[in-house]
């Protein structure tokens, strides 16, 4: 509020200076006009001598008041009050000397009252207005004491007085609007200053360096990180300074006119111990084009890349282990049943162990194939035959928890068989793991929908949170602490490789993952 009050006083002072200069110029012009035209228009003035001396005094008083306001910028309101009092008194004398109000003097009265409404408070402006009204209306009575003239100009004086009050009211409305705009501008400036401070604080905290250059290759803005990477003194962080003085090495290699948006290069300087990675971005702002240089420590970037590679390798290894665990579980169960089985069952279990061993080898091969972007080998799969065999061979330990629904006996798709097995194993085991405790079964629903076949895996658990749906098929995303986040990602990749689509379908209860692939019609 104090700053707002100071701003108002400064505005009042500057406007007052302009008005003081205006009245001095007006008085000088009126004096010159009277001197030049006094011989021809002497009959138009009732008291020409009074008119002349009043203009001379007005000019001298205007000069003194202008000089006083300029050299003594204190008590501005009091100085302005006396200026308007002098104006009203002078204009009243001029009106009296000119035998009543005329257009020119009336216009000067109006300007004075309007200016008083803008520069003074409402009470003082009203006093100035009343003085002007009284002087205009009653001066004819005073003149009648000296000359027995009629009061023919009283009507014009009354109309002029009414106009004074109208101008006074308009001035108050204008002042109110100006105050509202001034307050709004003040609050906006505070908000802008606050945002600038926040932006400056953020720039000071980030580890990446930012260097903004104008069209003359002058540094417009730089944060402390940029100063550190380039070996620039932090004193220039928020000052405009030529780049060739701050960092001559960068200026020498920077072909400023040829920089392209998105261009990247590395930079090393004798002024800095860092190897700097620089990315160029063009900023289009009103009336100019700025260039943003994003600076990073190249060695730290390389370290982060290596860390990400190691993390990805570790998560990929965990995912492979997750995929191998399924056939290992089948082998372990077959091994437990082997000792207490007859010869025929032992032969069947031995064949199962052999198939699961081959499957482990195939999982590793397929994973390497996916990493190397090798092609898949889709074959025609008759789902009514494939699904029961798949459940028996790959999900025998949980087969009693799967409720399978086949819409028709003629449902054929074109899919890589081993990859379809892995996709279904991932989805079904995930569904059982997330199923509600009071539910013993999950549903596997296979049906035709137009030219496609839909394979739905549904559970009755709590479903997927809304904020997690968008990230379901992204690599390394998992809501479980022990999860690798690659199961759904690999399944999604396998489906895309076979021209199929894996999606999540929202349910009233539980979760539903749908595999949708083109239907194959057998001849």
* CA 132/CA 127 separation, integer angstroms: 9
Residues 11 and 151 occupy one common structural domain: yes
- Does residue 210 contact residue 295 with C-beta atoms inside 8 Å? yes
The β-bridge partners of 458 are: 443, 512
Residues 454 and 519 occupy one common structural domain: yes
Residues 237 and 149 occupy one common structural domain: no
Token pair 């994973």 is at which residue? 367
Residues 279 and 222 occupy one common structural domain: yes
Residues spanned by the domain of 111:
2-186
Task: Tell me the CATH number at 216.
Answer: 3.30.450.20
10-residue stretch averages of pLDDT, the chain, 523 residues long: 56 78 84 77 71 84 84 81 83 75 72 78 77 67 48 55 66 67 75 80 81 83 83 69 79 73 81 84 80 84 70 68 75 80 81 81 62 71 91 87 87 90 90 87 90 92 84 70 64 87 88 91 72
Other beta carbons less than 10 A from residue 392's beta carbon: 11
By DSSP bridging, strand 264-268 and strand 511-518 are unpaired
Report which of 450, 451, 454, 456 is spatially closest to residue 520, judged by C-alpha positions: 451
Residue 465 DSSP SS3: coil
Other beta carbons less than 10 A from residue 368's beta carbon: 11
Residues 154 and 251 occupy one common structural domain: no
Residues 172 and 213 occupy one common structural domain: no
Other beta carbons less than 10 A from residue 103's beta carbon: 7
The answer to whether residue 330 sits within a structural domain is: no
| pLDDT score at 457 | 93
Structure tokens belonging to residue 97: 């000397």
Residues 85 and 12 occupy one common structural domain: yes
* CA 196/CA 296 separation, integer angstroms: 24
The answer to whether residue 107 sits within a structural domain is: yes
The answer to whether residue 519 sits within a structural domain is: yes
The answer to whether residue 103 sits within a structural domain is: yes
The answer to whether residue 21 sits within a structural domain is: yes
Structure tokens belonging to residue 223: 């944060």
* CA 300/CA 304 separation, integer angstroms: 6
- Does residue 417 contact residue 379 with C-beta atoms inside 8 Å? yes
Structure tokens belonging to residue 239: 């000052």
The answer to whether residue 502 sits within a structural domain is: yes
* CA 10/CA 1 separation, integer angstroms: 14
Report which of 461, 452, 460 is spatially closest to residue 503, judged by C-alpha positions: 452
Q: What is the DSSP string of 173-220?
A: HHHHHHHHHHHHHHHHHHHHHHHHHHHHHHHHH-SSEEEEE-TTSEEE
Q: Domain end: 301, 334, 353, which one? A: 301
Report which of 134, 296, 283 is spatially closest to residue 214, judged by C-alpha positions: 283
Please state whether the predicted TM-score (pTM) of the whole model is above 0.85.
no
Q: Domain end: 186, 218, 234, which one? A: 186
Structure tokens belonging to residue 272: 């800095």
Report which of 122, 120, 62 is spatially closest to residue 91, judged by C-alpha positions: 62
What spatial distance separates the first Cα and last Cα of the chain, rounded to whole Å?
Answer: 88
For the CA atoms of the chain, what is the radius of gyration?
A: 46
Q: Domain end: 285, 301, 317, which one? A: 301
Residues 167 and 227 occupy one common structural domain: no
Structure tokens belonging to residue 521: 């019609």
Residues 131 and 6 occupy one common structural domain: yes
Residues 161 and 220 occupy one common structural domain: no
* CA 34/CA 230 separation, integer angstroms: 73
The answer to whether residue 281 sits within a structural domain is: yes
The answer to whether residue 355 sits within a structural domain is: no
Residues 400 and 484 occupy one common structural domain: yes
Query: Domain total for the chain?
Result: 3
Residues 392 and 488 occupy one common structural domain: yes
Report which of 353, 321, 339 is spatially closest to residue 484, judged by C-alpha positions: 321
* CA 16/CA 18 separation, integer angstroms: 5
**Residue 270 burial by CB count (10 A; 0-12/13-18/19+): exposed, middle or buried?**
exposed
- The three state secondary structure string of 484-514 is CCCHHHHHHHHHHHCCCEEEEEECCCCEEEE
Task: Tell me the CATH number at 471.
Answer: 3.30.565.10
């Amino acid at each position: 509020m104090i700053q707002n009050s100071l701003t108002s006083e400064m505005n009042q002072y500057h406007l007052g200076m302009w008005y003081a200069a205006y009245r001095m110029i007006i008085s000088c012009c009126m004096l010159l006009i009277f001197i030049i035209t006094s011989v021809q228009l002497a009959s138009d003035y009732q008291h020409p001598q009074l008119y002349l001396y009043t203009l001379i005094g007005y000019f001298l008083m205007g000069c003194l008041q202008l000089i006083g306001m300029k050299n003594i910028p204190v008590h501005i309101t009091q100085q302005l009050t006396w200026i308007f009092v002098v104006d009203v008194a002078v204009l009243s004398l001029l009106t009296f000397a000119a035998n009543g109000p005329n257009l020119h003097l009336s216009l000067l009265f109006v300007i004075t009252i309007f200016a008083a409404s803008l520069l003074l408070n409402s009470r003082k402006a009203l006093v100035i207005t009343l003085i002007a009204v009284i002087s205009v209306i009653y001066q004819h009575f005073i003149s009648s004491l000296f000359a027995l003239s009629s009061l023919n100009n009283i009507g014009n004086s009354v109309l002029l007085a009414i106009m004074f009050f109208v101008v006074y009211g308009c001035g108050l409305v204008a002042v109110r609007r100006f105050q509202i705009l001034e307050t709004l501008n003040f609050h906006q400036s505070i908000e802008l200053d606050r945002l600038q401070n926040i932006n400056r604080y953020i720039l000071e905290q980030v580890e990446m360096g930012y260097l903004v250059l104008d069209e003359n290759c002058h540094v417009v803005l730089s944060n402390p990180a940029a100063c550190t990477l380039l070996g620039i003194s932090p004193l220039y962080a928020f000052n405009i300074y030529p780049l060739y003085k701050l960092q001559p090495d960068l200026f020498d290699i920077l072909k400023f006119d040829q920089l392209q948006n998105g261009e990247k290069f590395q930079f090393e300087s004798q002024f800095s111990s860092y190897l700097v990675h620089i990315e160029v971005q063009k900023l289009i702002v009103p009336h100019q084009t700025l260039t943003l240089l994003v600076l990073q420590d190249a060695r730290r970037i390389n370290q982060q890349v290596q860390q990400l590679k190691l993390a990805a390798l570790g998560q990929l290894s965990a995912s492979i282990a997750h995929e191998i665990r399924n056939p290992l579980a089948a082998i372990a169960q077959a091994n437990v049943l082997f000792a207490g089985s007859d010869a025929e069952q032992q032969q069947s279990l031995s064949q199962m162990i052999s198939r699961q061993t081959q499957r482990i080898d195939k999982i590793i091969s397929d994973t390497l194939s996916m990493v190397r972007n090798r092609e898949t080998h889709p074959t025609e799969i008759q789902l009514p035959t494939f699904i029961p065999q798949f459940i028996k061979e790959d999900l025998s330990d949980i087969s009693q928890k799967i409720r399978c629904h086949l819409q028709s006996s003629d449902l054929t798709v074109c899919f890589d068989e081993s990859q379809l097995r892995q996709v279904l194993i991932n989805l079904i085991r995930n569904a059982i793991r997330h199923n509600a405790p009071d539910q013993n079964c999950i549903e596997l629903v296979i049906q035709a929908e137009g030219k496609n076949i839909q394979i739905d895996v549904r559970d009755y658990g709590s479903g997927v949170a809304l904020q997690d749906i968008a990230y379901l098929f992204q690599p390394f995303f998992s809501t479980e602490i022990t999860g690798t986040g690659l199961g759904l990602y690999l399944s999604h990749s396998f489906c895309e490789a076979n021209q199929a689509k894996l999606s999540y379908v929202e349910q009233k209860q539980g979760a539903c993952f749908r595999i949708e692939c083109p239907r194959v019609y057998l001849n």
